[in-house]
Structure 1
């Protein structure tokens, strides 16, 4: 195992206290101003540093490239090359952050090559495509987390937008109206939107074209300072819980971006409110915005972001519209989709169905106290869990893993090594390390068998039991483990 140091990202929307407290043991957290993200990264441009046995530090990228067969493993080296194929972050949003879309695979490759050919430096703030890799991501809440993800059904969009007394909202309602799709003369009002549709729009259903026109109207409208009053008034008249949540998020965004009409597009998206341990998966092409909260985010090893509003950063509306998935769809819950691997002792596994990453969120307690979060998920999915059971298959091979302590203290053990981690500390665990187990740090020297979570199900091989006394206080701790899909 190698001690892994995060890369700090101090963006304006970050927290003034949350990540600073969580990562108080790491010097990187001692930054002035808001701290938004901590990256545990094998990204070529912003790699985490790794402590070597010589006392030196080296970038994780260099470490992996020196021996990918042992560090990434033969299977993942063949699948992804000599890289860590995922990027793990802890993110804390104090205010809403940008309305954005991540490009799909062919758009990522084309955009990356085009910007390279144009000579745009990789660290240029105006660059949209920093990688040639499609970006999809998953967020797991560490505390209540609010977001909007994917387009809601058109009736829900209309229900919200018809309440808003604002000219841009009226244009959006016209675009979404069934009456408009039958009125050929009305097409002239949306000629600019028609011109910006991708070639694939030729085979879209009319409903997707309607959604595109309405979204285009919001993200290309001129600044307007009168929006927030209209949203507050409309939110007060919303009747359904989902509508009230949508307006609460839109009002929050409008308070921080008072002149930005793209806030109206939030009324077209699904509002998502996550409790601890709940998650949502965001495929490439899906419009989304984070509103507030702290969570663990895992994604393909890509920093591609196309922004359309609610930001002081570079916007790339044209490319965003070209990769936008306009089909209304419900948010994807990877916990609900993967209940076979959901519960095992005090661990929840999230498998969104992509090869590059999966995640586990776990808890250990030296006193064997009950972790409340799994019980809540069992109540939510209890009937289906009883139908399928909790038996899991032990895979034959481990991949590269990142283990981060998110609360308290934990012990991480493998056949070769053992580390005690405090909140905010992390280790990189090579594929060659084999199986790992995570246990509580015991305080009773007469009882050397401590509470533990068996990590065999996504580490490969047999787990390791045991532990030694570290100090006189029993402890508990929570953690996340990132891995490639098994």
Structure 2
């Protein structure tokens, strides 16, 4: 059993000092994500019993086969990019093709990325495909969007996305909130579109959000996003659990590179996200997911060997005890156990996320 500290990411959409209580320091700037895993984009530092970094990272001890999951704390002040994560076949093919000299670097690794966002406070997101009647109703109130309606009626999703990007203007983006209200959407959705327009007034990808469903999560609820499902997290603080990949193909709402053709190719029109609510009090287990999460608030829980496990302290205090070690977790640290590490027990007084791989 090892203890790690999260690696901080300061992406521009992050909340100012939004993760300071977990990161252990105020930076005065955006704190967007805190990574717990072995991905080369942000490997977690190992810490000793006093909480000091040892100079090693988790990736020095284990590879992705042993650590198949990546866990993140996320703090969003404004909408993240409209994005899609590739399924395994798409990721492998894309990774091979970009090894050619001069090929664009679209992917970060050759792995599928499937994820679940657990709200730690009220959290808003665009995720999955909006009901077609609602989409058409919104589009009828956006000047010049009739061609998009025709393409959607012909089941030409890629063509519809392409036209939305082509016809995007500042005026059309500014009309999103009014179009949502005219279509009879709830005021929370109207406000979400207003947020998009205010933060990305010139970004062509803003119009693509018309195609996406709106979700409002209460603390403790989660959304499971399979690879191939488009999404854009709007605002809030949450815990993300995902396969160990950083493959993000963006359509807009970003200052980072956008790869429209590759994103459209990765989209799955037949898939939707799952809203996940706890069963047996605190267990979040999406259908066909490669992981299960238990949000333990108090008491003692046995963590059996046989699969990868990571325990992240979110609030309060916790001790983790096994035959090999006994540790006290601090905020922003996590206990990591490989599949062949012995059974452990966690004693919680606060909130601990117990994440386990379901792939043995």
Q: Say whether the fold is shared (TM-score over 0.5).
A: yes
Residue in structure 2 matching 1:171, options 143, 147, 157: 147
Deviation string, structure 1 residues 81-119 (Cα, Å, up to 9, x no partner)? 3x3111111111100010011112122111111222326
Q: What CA distance in whole angstroms lies between the structure 2 residues aligned with 1:400 and 1:365?
A: 22
Residue in structure 2 matching 1:62, options 52, 60, 63: 60
Judging by fraction of residues, say which structure has more helix: 1
Identify the residue that residue 249 of structure 1 maps to in structure 2: 192
Identify the residue that residue 139 of structure 1 maps to in structure 2: 117
Pairing of 1:250-329 with structure 2 (within 5 A): 250-327=193-270
Cα distance, 1:396 vs. partner?
Answer: 7.2
Cα distance, 1:330 vs. partner?
Answer: 4.6
Identify the residue that residue 195 of structure 1 maps to in structure 2: none
Deviation string, structure 1 residues 136-184 (Cα, Å, up to 9, x no partner)? 11111111111111112311211222233x22x333223234xxx4xxx
Pairing of 1:441-452 with structure 2 (within 5 A): none
Pairing of 1:214-229 with structure 2 (within 5 A): 214-218=160-164, 220-221=165-166, 224-229=169-174
TM-score by length of 2: 0.90
SS in 2 for 1:116: coil
Identify the residue that residue 482 of structure 1 maps to in structure 2: 355
- On the 8 A contact 2:17/2:29 being kept in 1, the answer is no
Question: Mean Cα displacement is larger for which, 48-57 or 266-275?
Answer: 48-57
Q: What CA distance in whole angstroms lies between the structure 1 residues aligned with 2:150 and 2:188?
A: 23
Structure 2 residue runs without a partner (length 5+): none
Q: What CA distance in whole angstroms lies between the structure 2 residues aligned with 1:330 and 1:130?
A: 24
Change (3 A) 1:259 1:267: same
Identify the residue that residue 285 of structure 2 maps to in structure 1: 350
2:342 maps to 1:364:
no
Pairing of 1:333-344 with structure 2 (within 5 A): 333-335=275-277, 342-343=279-280
Equivalenced residue count is 356
Judging by fraction of residues, say which structure has more strand: 2
Structure 1 residue runs without a partner (length 5+): 66-79, 121-125, 182-206, 367-393, 441-475
Cα distance, 1:428 vs. partner?
Answer: 1.5
Identify the residue that residue 454 of structure 1 maps to in structure 2: none
Larger Rg: 1
2:86 maps to 1:103:
yes
- On the 8 A contact 2:168/2:207 being kept in 1, the answer is no
- On the 8 A contact 2:6/2:23 being kept in 1, the answer is no
Cα distance, 1:333 vs. partner?
Answer: 2.5
Identify the residue that residue 14 of structure 1 maps to in structure 2: 14
Question: Mean Cα displacement is larger for which, 427-436 or 252-261?
Answer: 427-436
2:180 maps to 1:231:
no
Identify the residue that residue 158 of structure 1 maps to in structure 2: 136
Q: What CA distance in whole angstroms lies between the structure 2 residues aligned with 1:223 and 1:238?
A: 19
- On the 8 A contact 2:5/2:332 being kept in 1, the answer is no
- On the 8 A contact 1:407/1:422 being kept in 2, the answer is no
Identify the residue that residue 331 of structure 1 maps to in structure 2: 273
Identify the residue that residue 74 of structure 2 maps to in structure 1: 91
SS in 2 for 1:148: strand
Change (3 A) 1:213 1:246: farther
- On the 8 A contact 1:407/1:423 being kept in 2, the answer is yes
Q: What CA distance in whole angstroms lies between the structure 2 residues aligned with 1:55 and 1:97?
A: 31
The higher relative CO (CA closer than 8 Å, separation ≥ 6) is in 2
Q: What CA distance in whole angstroms lies between the structure 1 residues aligned with 2:176 and 2:55?
A: 51
SS in 1 for 2:258: coil
